[in-house]
Chain A
C-alpha cells in the first residue's frame, strides 16, 4: 500500500516538474471553456441585413428598426431593385436580405395579409435557420404590437428562402472547411515533421556537409507534399461532387488557382515550423496547436466569425484557412466569380510571399 502511494507521489512530481504538461493540464481547459462558453457560439449576432423595401411605409420602417435594434441584426444595406440582390450576396455576404412586398401596410389593413420574403445564405444551413428564426420572431413581435392597436385579424406571411443550398445540406458548409483543414494538414504538418525528422536522426548533418545547397534540400522536401496536396485536392473535389452531391457551381479553374495559392501558404508555414522545431514531436505539436486548432475553431468552419469577440475576429483574419474557406465557399457553393474573391486572393498571396521569404531567411546553413 505504501508503495502505491509513493508511486502516486512520484507521478505528481513528474507532472509538476514538466512545465509543458502543467500548461496543458491546467491552462488548456480554462482556455477551451472560455473559448466555447464565451467566444464561440452557434448563435448569430450582428448579422448584416440588406433591405429591399417596395413599400417604404410606417410598417416596414417599424419592422426595420426593430430588426436593427435587436442584438442579432445590423441593418446596413438598402437595395433599390431585385437585381441588386445577387450582387449584394456576392459583394458583401449579408446573412439576410429582407424583401417587403408593395403596399405592405395597406395590405395589412385592407386584405389582412402582407408578405415578407427572407432570403438567406444557405451555405451554412444551421446558421441560416437560426437567422430565419430570429427574424421571424422579431416580425411576429411587430405583429403582436399591431394586434394590440388593431383588432381585425391579419397575418404577415413570412417566406424564407435558402439560397445556394435549397436542400439545406450541411455538407455544403463543411466541405470547403475540410478542404482548408486537410490541405493545411498535409502541407504544413507533414512538411515540418519531415524536415524535423532529418534533424532528429542526424541525417540533416550529413546533408549539410555535402555539395547540395541547403535551399535545394528544402525544395526537395516541399515538392512531394505539393504533389500530394494536389492529389488530395482532386480527390476531395471528386468525392464532394459525386458522393456528397456538393456542387461546384462556379469556375473550377478559379477554385484550383485559389487552392494552389493556399497550398503555397501552407507549405511555407510548414517550412517555418520546421526551422524552429528540432524534433518530430515538437513539429507535430506546434502544427497541431498552432495550426489545426485555430483552423478548426476560428476559421469560420464551425463557428461563425461574426459572433466572435473582436479580438478573436482579428486572430481569425490572421489564419490563412479563414480566407481560403471563405473563397472556396463563394466559388463552390455560391457560384460567384473571381471578382468576389479578390480580397481573399490578395491576402493569401501576400501571406504566401511573406511566409516563404521568412522561412528562406530562417533556414540555417549550419546546425545552430
Chain B
C-alpha cells in the first residue's frame, strides 16, 4: 500500500514551472530520500505533499487523502520537522511536547504518560523542565523529530533535518529514523547531504523540477558508475539548466 502516490504533479508560479509533472510512489515504512540542488523544486514538491500548497495540475494522494481536496486531513495525519527544528526555544521540553500533542489532537490523558515514555526513550527524562534553548543542538534535533511523530502519523516529512551537527549526533538521529521506519512510519526526507542519501531505502533526485533518477542508492551508484551518491548527483546536476544563482 503506498503512503504517497503522485501522478504528473505540477506546480507553476506564473510562467515558471517549479515542479514539472513528477510521478512516484512511496511505500509504508520506507525511508525515502528526496534530493536535489537548491532551486530544483524539492521544497515546493514537499509543500504540496504536506497540504501546504495547492498543485497547479496532476494528482497526489498522501496517507489516503487527496492533496487537492483534503489538505486539512493531510495536515492532521502527517508529522513535519523543518530545518529550524520547529521547537519553541523559550518553552521547556515538556511544554513543547504538550503543545504539539494538543495541536494534533491527542487525548488529554494520554499526553503526560506519552511524554514520559518519549523522554525516557530519548534518555532525557531529567531535562523535562529545561528550556529548549539550553539544550545542545543534537538533543534539540532528536527532540524535534520525536515530537513530530508523537501522534503516530503514517508519514513524517523531514525538511533538511540535519546540519552542522557532529557525526555521532547525526548518527543517533538516523537511528531514531530507522526505529520509526521499523515501526511502520514512512519517512520522507529532503537533504542536500549526499552521504545521508545512503541511509535511505530509495532516493529520488530532482533536477530542474523533474525527477531525473529514482532508485536505491546502491543501484544508482551502479548505473551511474560512481562510488558515492555525491558522484551520481554531480553527474545529474551538471545537466541542470536552472542555475540557482
Chain A interface residues (CB < 8 Å from chain B):
2-3, 6, 10, 13-14, 17-18
Smallest beta-carbon distance B169→chain A, Å: 26
Task: Provide a sorted-by-A list of 5 A–B residue pairs whose CB atoms are within 8 angstroms.
Answer: A2-B102, A3-B103, A3-B105, A13-B95, A14-B90
Q: Which residues of B contact A3 (CB under 8 A)?
A: 102-103, 105
Interface size of B as a range: 10 to 19
Smallest beta-carbon distance B174→chain A, Å: 30
- Flag if B90 contacts A17 (CB, 8 Å): yes
Smallest beta-carbon distance B96→chain A, Å: 9
- Bound-complex Cα distance A17 to B90 (A): 7
- Flag if B91 contacts A13 (CB, 8 Å): yes
Smallest beta-carbon distance B82→chain A, Å: 18
Chain B interface residues (CB < 8 Å from chain A):
88, 90-91, 95, 98-99, 102-103, 105, 108, 131
Q: Which residues of A contact B102 (CB under 8 A)?
A: 2-3, 6
- Flag if B88 contacts A10 (CB, 8 Å): yes
Q: Which residues of B contact A17 (CB under 8 A)?
A: 90, 131
- Flag if A6 contacts B98 (CB, 8 Å): yes
- Bound-complex Cα distance A251 to B103 (A): 70
Main secondary structure of the interface of A (DSSP, over half): helix
- Flag if A10 contacts B91 (CB, 8 Å): yes
Q: Which residues of A contact B98 (CB under 8 A)?
A: 6
- Bound-complex Cα distance A192 to B3 (A): 55
- Flag if A13 contacts B90 (CB, 8 Å): yes
Closest 3 CB pairs of A and B: A6-B102, A17-B90, A10-B99
Given contacts A6-B103, A10-B99, A17-B90, 12 further A-B contacts (CB under 8 A): A2-B108, A3-B103, A6-B98, A6-B99, A10-B88, A10-B91, A13-B90, A13-B91, A13-B95, A14-B90, A17-B131, A18-B90
- Flag if B99 contacts A14 (CB, 8 Å): no
Smallest beta-carbon distance B106→chain A, Å: 10
- Bound-complex Cα distance A192 to B182 (A): 56
Which residue on chain B has the smallest CB distance to residue A17?
Answer: B90
- Bound-complex Cα distance A3 to B105 (A): 8
Q: Which residues of B contact A2 (CB under 8 A)?
A: 102, 108
Smallest beta-carbon distance B132→chain A, Å: 11
- Bound-complex Cα distance A10 to B132 (A): 14
Smallest beta-carbon distance B150→chain A, Å: 14
Q: Which residues of A contact B95 (CB under 8 A)?
A: 10, 13
Smallest beta-carbon distance B129→chain A, Å: 13
Which residue on chain A has the smallest CB distance to residue B91?
Answer: A13
Smallest beta-carbon distance B76→chain A, Å: 11
- Bound-complex Cα distance A18 to B90 (A): 8
Residue from A2, A10, A18 having most chain B Cβ neighbours under 10 A? A10
- Bound-complex Cα distance A2 to B103 (A): 8
Q: Which residues of B contact A13 (CB under 8 A)?
A: 90-91, 95
Q: Which residues of B contact A18 (CB under 8 A)?
A: 90
Q: Which residues of A contact B88 (CB under 8 A)?
A: 10, 14
- Bound-complex Cα distance A3 to B95 (A): 14
Q: Which residues of B contact A10 (CB under 8 A)?
A: 88, 91, 95, 99
- Bound-complex Cα distance A118 to B95 (A): 70
- Bound-complex Cα distance A282 to B23 (A): 49
Smallest beta-carbon distance A25→chain B, Å: 16
- Bound-complex Cα distance A6 to B102 (A): 7
Smallest beta-carbon distance B112→chain A, Å: 14
- Bound-complex Cα distance A6 to B99 (A): 6
Q: Which residues of A contact B90 (CB under 8 A)?
A: 13-14, 17-18
Which residue on chain B has the smallest CB distance to residue A15?
Answer: B90
Q: Which residues of A contact B131 (CB under 8 A)?
A: 17
Smallest beta-carbon distance B213→chain A, Å: 37
Smallest beta-carbon distance B17→chain A, Å: 34
Which residue on chain A has the smallest CB distance to residue B90?
Answer: A17
- Bound-complex Cα distance A2 to B107 (A): 10
- Bound-complex Cα distance A14 to B95 (A): 12
Smallest beta-carbon distance A259→chain B, Å: 46
Smallest beta-carbon distance A11→chain B, Å: 10
- Bound-complex Cα distance A17 to B88 (A): 12
Q: Which residues of B contact A14 (CB under 8 A)?
A: 88, 90-91
Smallest beta-carbon distance B109→chain A, Å: 13
- Bound-complex Cα distance A14 to B105 (A): 22
